[in-house]
Chain A
Amino acid sequence: MYENDECEKSHWDQRLLDLTGYVFVGLISLACLIPFILIISGSFTSEASITSDGFRLWPKEFSLSAYSFALAHPQQFISSYVLTISLTVGGTLIGLFISAMAAYVLQRQDFEWRNGFAFFFYFTTLFNGGLVPWYILMVNYLHMKNTFWSLLLPPLLNVFYIIILRTFLRSIPDAITESAKIDGAGDFTIFVRLILPLAKPGLATIGLFTALNYWNDWFNSLLFVQDESLYTLQYLLYKMLGNLEGIRKVMAISGMHVADLPGESLKMALAILVTGPIVFLYPFVQRYFVQGLTVGSVKG
């Protein structure tokens, strides 16, 4: 009898918690999904329908005019795509490799200066010179204004990511490094041949974060770029949104019919076009995701 009661009770607890979990997490998931649906639906809705009915989860009047308007002159889009993809792929690969090397050295217990280097990296997150000295260094001393480098270098490395990678690499047994050393392998060979393949979950996770930082970067364009051939996708969107508002104001002042211009639907179509491809990276990374992320303190 008593045992049965216990059993019932724990079931009741579990059910209540399950219910809370489904409702709470479910609601948050919906809140994360709905804006996406609104964007997609908005991009396929006719402008007149948006102006009269607002945004809906499903287009009331289906229309492709926003996309045909957005892609009427695709040269700028294509050049921004090529630039953003090269930055994302190149920056992520180089950044990951440099970060992983640093992280590997930082967690090698036989490397006597590991704590010194860890502090050297970590200190940059505690204290920095601020935006202005960095900006002047980039522009006046390194002459990076309007260059590919001004977009490639700033998001390349991140101390937080190096710390995460180091914590992850610690979970790989030291015995692997030691036995390879006895076999006469050099440190770099051990890193490339043995450690990197084992570090896949960590690399995939940090790789996704770095790729997203590149893909979604507009700040460095805002600071350093004037040349249209160096507009990243997000900056192109930012510029187009600004221009669109400008055009609408001019049209409204001059008494022209604003509804003729696919404004709101165009914005949504542009948002889809600039976000698009990066989302497809997620399914490839998801299975490594949770394993790859553990944070530890600075000292090692």
Chain B
Amino acid sequence: MKHTLWDRVRANRTLLFMIAPATLYFLLFSYVPMAGIVLAFKQYRYDLGILHSPWVGFDNFRFFFITGDAFKVTRNTLLYNAAFIVINNVLQIAVAILMAEVGSKLFRKTAQTLMFLPYFLSWVVVGAVAYNLFNYEHGTINTLLKSLGMTPLDIYTTSEYWKYILVFFSAWKAVGYGAVFYMASILSIDKETYEAAEIDGANVFQRIFFITLPSLRPTIIILVLLAIGNIFRGDFGLFYQLVGNNGLLYESTDVIDTFVYRSLTVNNEIGMSSAIGFYQSVLCFVTIMLTNYIVRKKDKENALF
């Protein structure tokens, strides 16, 4: 008996019905905008809409690259994200491993709760906290420096400091959240493996290096791969709320996303903003494809797809 497509759809109709809302959602909000990429090659006019606006070839891209900001924002986005990925993951893994080894249950619970606190704060609040720490007149840091008889630092006009500040706040906000993923994966390691290692005389460090870390490998690979897929996307909230529209700091804090937002809202450059968005998506796509290809070559089991 042959099963036609229609029969198979009918047989799976409940499951298809259940997956339909999510499918429609992503169709509308993710796939339909992909067609909007044509805007990158058009001069958008509100009166004509996307379809009828005139084509301008690569003018939008040319504008972005010639103004000289393309290199700067791409470099900043890439370097910041690379730093975030390495530092945040190393920190989260270290925390997860130490949390699993430390004896006291009360300590573990308290620490987990405290480390999760920053994740509850919105970037708006974090921005306000940062302002309190760093502002020139009565920021905590400068109050401290003054009381020690040192000259206060003018942090909001010195772009150099912001590299460290942004990396710090990214790590600070994500440490508790990210560590939970690694803790979950440590929890699923078979207890007997540890017991066997102990009987064989392995010390705790050998246990960590030969059992815990290798079993974290799939989680590390997946989380890092997911992050690498977004390596050209800046965390808009972090950059926008901490730096704001402070042009003095753009040299080392402007990322693709803040640049696109400004081009769109301040300068109303629809064409160029779309072109940058397209450029960003292509970079991300190529990066994740390459990385996944490399992972698949070395470690087929753990590749994303």
Contacts and interface: CB of A to CB of B under 8 A. Distances in A.
A105 B26 contact: no
Contacts of A186: 14
Interface in A22-48: 22, 24-26, 28-33, 35-36, 38-39, 42
B124 A234 contact: yes
- Which of A128, A219, A286 has the most chain B CB within a 10 Å cutoff? A128
A148 interface: no
B19 A105 contact: yes
B150 interface: no
A237 B129 CA distance: 13
Contacts of A215: 122
8 contacts: A14-B204, A18-B102, A25-B115, A127-B34, A128-B34, A130-B37, A132-B36, A134-B33
B98 A21 contact: yes
Contacts of B124: 216, 218, 234-235, 237-238, 241, 274
B205 interface: yes
A124 B288 CA distance: 13
A271 B129 contact: yes
Given A29-B114, A129-B33, A297-B304, 12 more contacts: A31-B172, A112-B8, A117-B19, A130-B276, A130-B278, A133-B37, A133-B274, A136-B50, A156-B25, A238-B124, A271-B129, A275-B122
B201 interface: yes
Interface string B140-179: 1011100000000000000000000000000010011000
Nearest to B22: A102
Given A133-B274, A137-B33, A54 B143 contact: yes
Contacts of A187: 14-15, 18
Contacts of A154: 29
Contact of B95 (A25, A104, A279): A25
Nearest to A263: B138
Given A237-B125, A238-B124, A271-B129, A29 B110 contact: yes
Contacts of A131: 257, 260-261, 264, 273, 277
A122 B114 contact: no
B219 interface: yes
A186 B145 CA distance: 69
A54 B139 contact: yes
B184 interface: yes
A99 interface: yes
A81 interface: no
A188 B20 CA distance: 13
Nearest to A287: B109
B18 A102 contact: yes
B213 interface: no
- Dominant secondary structure of chain A at its interface with chain B: helix
Contact of B205 (A17, A53, A136, A286): A17
Given A29-B110, A130-B276, A282-B116, A299 B305 contact: yes
Contact of B122 (A120, A162, A274, A292): A274
A67 interface: no
Contacts of B261: 131
Contacts of B68: none
A193 to B, nearest CB: 14
- Dominant secondary structure of chain B at its interface with chain A: helix
Contacts of B14: 186-188
Interface stretch (A5-13, A58-66, A71-79): A5-13
B121 interface: yes
Interface stretch (B72-80, B222-230, B247-255): B222-230
A202 to B, nearest CB: 11
A261 interface: no
Interface string A121-159: 110111111111111110010000000000001101101
A215 B32 CA distance: 27
A108 interface: yes
A296 interface: yes
B72 to A, nearest CB: 19
A226 interface: no
A137 B36 contact: yes
A162 to B, nearest CB: 7
A191 B111 CA distance: 36
A278 to B, nearest CB: 6
Interface string B12-55: 10111111011101100111111111010000101001100000
Given A32-B172, A132-B273, A282-B113, A275 B21 contact: no
